[in-house]
Structure 1
């Protein structure tokens, strides 16, 4: 980590607002302790709190299929070389039903989507365009929107892609967990 981690407990003398923020973040992570990402963000408790609320909603309040979400997040990790993000989300992808073979293919960065469903291909193309080019072409947008089946789901995909691009850039920029340059492997 390029800066020291913030303390895992509210610093002595912090006010009730900071203590409440630590409590909210700990509740979201429960039963696990705070993770290094939290401890990096907690240098500014207000930002950590906003991050926690946004990512908590994306993770638990989205109607987007969990496997599609994790596939997209894993591809963002590959495209941005976010090893820590890959390690966390490739395991979640497998739990959500994404095959190890599909994850292996992401790691090869071939851009060939044979073996993926039509919807998975659309989500991966969408993720790549939004991550690499920022602007998503009308063709990719409309195909993905049609296959997802609703304006809500295309919005949820876009906010997921945007949020996890933020996460990967934060993780890599500060080298959270000292994972930069590490190997990405399928769990």
Structure 2
């Protein structure tokens, strides 16, 4: 990483900081803090806000999990965020996305035309990936894509997909910017089959 990781216990062990560290551990189901946490914990208040925000996106959204994770994985591919891919590709597969869909993302990369022509994708997957591409690479969502999203999803789900893609663009830029886990430049690989 381009700066040292924060320690696994607060430098300033105030009750507030101790509570923040514990909330983040609790969100991780009492697992050890991960490198992303330790990068963020240079400022416990920011780490706490991030954890609550991303935790809500991951656990309180009504967007079907396979589609949300597919969008997150495509953000990782588009932004060359290897650590994000490594963390989310297994979740995406476990949620029900087919391996050949994720393989397509790795092969096509930012070639959205190739993605849209792929026969392995359902129409809703193509829509989510078109939206993710436009949000990530073009920022502005084309009206036809937005109208199709609104036909396919509720207003709440359109908002949730938009915040998911936006949030994971933030995450990938943070991961790549600081080279969290020293993953920059490493190839993205498919998770091993279970």
TM exceeds 0.5? yes
Deviation at 1:99, TM superposition (A): 0.9
CA distance in 1, matches of 2:61, 2:150: 15
* 1:115-134 mapped onto 2 (5 Å cutoff): 115-134=120-139
Kindly indicate whether residue 170 of structure 2 is the aligned counterpart of residue 171 of structure 1.
no
Runs of 4+ residues deviating >3 angstroms = none
Secondary structure of 1:14's match?
Answer: coil
Deviation at 1:22, TM superposition (A): 0.4
- TM-score norm. by structure 1 comes to 0.96
CA distance in 1, matches of 2:98, 2:188: 16
**Which of the numbers 151, 155, 158 marks the counterpart of 1:154?**
158
Kindly indicate whether residue 140 of structure 2 is the aligned counterpart of residue 141 of structure 1.
no
CA distance in 1, matches of 2:81, 2:105: 13
Structure 2: which 5+ residue stretches go unaligned? none
CA distance in 2, matches of 1:145, 1:33: 40
Aligned residues: 185
Going from structure 1 to structure 2, the CA distance change for 1:22 and 1:31 (only over 3 Å counts) comes to closer
Deviation at 1:144, TM superposition (A): 1.5
Structure 1: which 5+ residue stretches go unaligned? none
Aligned to 1:47: 46
Q: RMSD between aligned alpha carbons?
A: 0.9
CA distance in 1, matches of 2:100, 2:42: 39
User: Deviations for 1:11-31, whole angstroms, at most 9, x for unmatched residues?
Assistant: 2x4211111100100100123
Deviation at 1:175, TM superposition (A): 0.1
CA distance in 1, matches of 2:88, 2:150: 24
Secondary structure of 1:31's match?
Answer: coil
Aligned to 2:95: 96
- TM-score norm. by structure 2 comes to 0.93
Aligned to 2:8: 8
